[in-house]
Amino acid sequence: MLLNSPFTKVFSTFLFIAAGALTGFAQAPVLYGMTPEGGRNGVGTIFSFNLAGNTEKVLHSFARHGFDGNSPTGSLALDNSTNILYGLTYGGGQDSVGAIISYDPASNFESLVYSFTGPPDGGLPMSNLTWNAGNGLFYGITYGGGGPLSNSGTIISFNPTAPLQDSVLYRFAISPNNSDAARPFGALTYNSATGLYYGLSLEGGDNYLGAIFSFNPATGSENLLYSFTAFEGNTPKGDLVYYPPTGLFYGLTTVGGTFNTGTIFSFDPTTHNEQVVYNFSSSTDAVQAVGNLVYLPASGLFYGVSIAGGIHNWGTIFTFNPATDSENVVFSGNTGTIARPVGNMVYDAGNHLFYGLSSLGGAHSQGTIYSFNPATNGVQVLWSFGADSDGTRPNGSLILLNGPNAINAVNKQDENVNIYPNPSSGAFTVTGLQPGQTVEINNYLGQQISRFTATGLATQQFDISSVANGIYLLQVINADGNTAGFKKMVKTN
């Protein structure tokens, strides 16, 4: 179903929503996630876990009928302008091919906001939405739907201010005569240096073993950038993560490589060169790595998980050093603690812990919420899924809200940074900056218009007098490449 609202309408709605931002959450750090199974109806849940009290709560049990989504395999994403969470479900919806759902933590209200219809619309999403704070839109991919002949998936956008609509931006079209990407998986990753989104597909490419592709939101064009091979790793089930010190993306493949147990690879968005930087090597090494790598500046390491391998073959937590291209298994899963860890871990710098999900293990063998201490490599089970009408067998990732230093919350509002005057005629002052940070300004389409390197002074002056009047998003980026936060700013005459 195509979204035909003009940008003027989207823009005016975005102005209205901005006035109500940052009003919904309590201050205690809370983890939110979804399970594809369990709940009152057996088709999944939305849950929360309060870190202050170590308590889990089922917030919503998905329904089997067509007026709700169900069986989500991905994660929730936050619209920072409204503090509402959005997610994709693999099943449910009016046509039983998946849906977009919303959840408001302030009112504890879940809603079906869009039902996928299948070709030519998207269908069967197995991924996460990515919020673009610049234009207020979500971007995502669907595993199925698209072209009626190929049914190989789509790239979509979704406007949360115009529910019951989505916009199919691109339909993957693999065929004997067209080596496009197919069956996209994971989430799209935005790179402000190129203005493009990047993603991975499970199938398609020249070798039908998966691909790396880019999407230009300004032109609606998609490009196949790299085709995986059996020797170099294939079938990626996660996201690309950008590492500014090298200007490279890093990602994981579940199989292939020298030992057919998967790889860690790098990808240069400028040259489109892919390189295997590590081959998972044995049954006690990580096997079938999933999700995306998470970089921890304090250690200089990436952290990831695999669903198999390790001493007991129940999966691993591993590290990867981009300086030396070396990998190390730091925890082996087992049925007594965590088994088959999934998704990617999220880090809370407030207590120096990672948090993650496993699809098996725990007291009921139905999965867990766990913490991982990178200082000791110790794992603690915080919650065992599966009791009563609880969710079971989680398959996505957690999102941490209200953790003031949560690395995964890349769209969070930075309360330490302020802009004045705001609105301005183009010249403005930013306070609260820290050494090594970069100031980036995007328009409401998500396009970068200016980028400034902070000089190390907490208060600095900038000028965008040459740009058109309108709403812009000022992002503050740390030296390690993580977004510290953002502020909306208004440019007037």
pLDDT of 426: 85
**CA dihedral angle for residue 303, residue 307, residue 308, residue 310, rounded to 10 degrees:** 40
User: Which helix (H) or strand (E) element contains residue 9?
Assistant: helix 7-18
CATH number for region 7-401: 2.130.10.10
The predicted model gives 344-360 an average pLDDT of 93
Cβ proximity of 197 and 164 under 8 Å: no
Residue 19: predicted pLDDT: 26
Tell me the CATH number for domain 418-491: 2.60.40.1220
pLDDT digits (tens, 9 = 90+) for 251-287: 999 999 999 999 999 999 999 999 999 999 988 999 9
Q: What is the mean pLDDT of the chain?
A: 86
Q: Please give the Cα distance from 185 to 196 (Å, whole number).
A: 17
Determine the number of helices (DSSP H) and then strands (DSSP E) in the chain. 1, 41
- In tens, the pLDDT along 304-336 reads 999 999 999 999 999 999 999 999 999 999 998
- C-alpha 21/C-alpha 1 separation (Å) is 29
Q: What are phi and psi of 476, to 5 degrees?
A: -110, 125
Which 8-state DSSP code applies to residue 17?
Answer: H
Tens digits of per-residue pLDDT, 94-132?
A: 999 999 999 999 889 999 999 999 999 999 999 999 998
User: 480 versus 398: which is more confidently predicted?
Assistant: 398
Quote the CA–CA distance of 355 and 371 in Å, as a whole number.
4
Q: Is the peptide bond before 435 cis (omega within 30 degrees of 0)?
A: no
CA 463 vs. chain centroid, Å, equals 32
- What's the sign of the alpha-carbon dihedral 101, 348, 395, 224? positive
Which residues fall within 8 angstroms of residue 437, CB to CB, at 6 or more apart? 454, 476, 477, 478, 479, 484
Residue 445 has pLDDT above 80, yes or no: no
Can you give the pLDDT at residue 27?
Answer: 52
Q: What are phi and psi of 140, to 5 degrees?
A: -160, 180
**Backbone Cα Rg of the chain:** 21
Residues 6+ apart with CB under 8 A from 183: 143, 144, 152, 153, 172, 201, 202, 203, 204
**pLDDT higher than threshold 50 for residue 4:** no
**pLDDT for the residue numbered 480:** 62
* 63-84 confidence digits (pLDDT tens): 998 889 999 999 999 998 888 9
Indicate whether 479 pLDDT > 90. no
* All structural domains of the chain with their residue ranges: 7-401, 418-491
CA–CA distance from 1 to each of 14, 99, 125, 213, 380 (Å)? 22, 13, 15, 23, 45
Residue 7: what pLDDT? Answer: 25
Q: Kindly state the average pLDDT of the residues 188-193.
A: 88
Which pLDDT value is given to residue 283? 83
The Cβ of residue 194 has, within 10 Å, a number of other Cβ atoms equal to 13
